Structure formats: C-alpha cells, structure tokens
Amino acid sequence: MSDILVRIKRAVLAGDYAFSEKARVEMEADGITELDVAESILNAVAIGKVIRSRSSRRKNLKERRYVI
C-alpha cells in the first residue's frame, strides 16, 4: 500500500476531511452517504491513478487528486 494511501486513510480515521458542495451533490445523486465514502476509502487497497487538478480555484497549482 502506498504511503499516500496510508496518509489518506489516517486523515479519514481522524475525521480530517471535508466534502465540497459538488461532492455533496454527486453523493446525493448517487444515494451515498459520507459514511459510505469513508468506508470505501478505508477499505481501499490501492490508488488507481493520480490526476493533476485543473481547477482555476485551486491555491496550489500542483494539487493532485487520487482515484481510489
């Protein structure tokens, strides 16, 4: 398991995460809860791919998104 995935899981366990409004809308549309998302992350065994953020609203232009 990658170090990044371990760090993500630790953040989830500590409750150190937040959902964007877009994420909340998508979760509602799919009928999943915050607990469902947290459980999925905690049960993940690998990161599928890494994507660089393209959002102009990001403070850090090198921000990465991890697909689990």
Exposure pattern of 10-21 as b/e (b: 16+ CB <10 Å)? eebeeeeeeeee
Instruction: Name the amino acid, one letter, at 49.
Output: K
Better pLDDT: 35 or 58: 35
Better pLDDT: 11 or 65: 11
* pTM of the predicted protein model: 0.76
50 in Cβ contact with 5 (< 8 Å): no
pLDDT at residue 53, as a whole number:
76
> What Å distances lie between residue 25 and 3, 39, 64, CA to CA?
30, 19, 21
How far apart CA 54 and CA 22 sit, in angstroms, is 15
Kindly report the average pLDDT of the chain as a whole number.
89
Residue 9, domain extent? 3-67
pLDDT tier, 65 (very low <50, low <70, confident <90, very high otherwise) = confident
Q: What is the pLDDT of residues 12-43, one digit of tens each?
A: 999 999 999 999 999 999 999 999 999 999 99
How many domains are there within the chain? 1
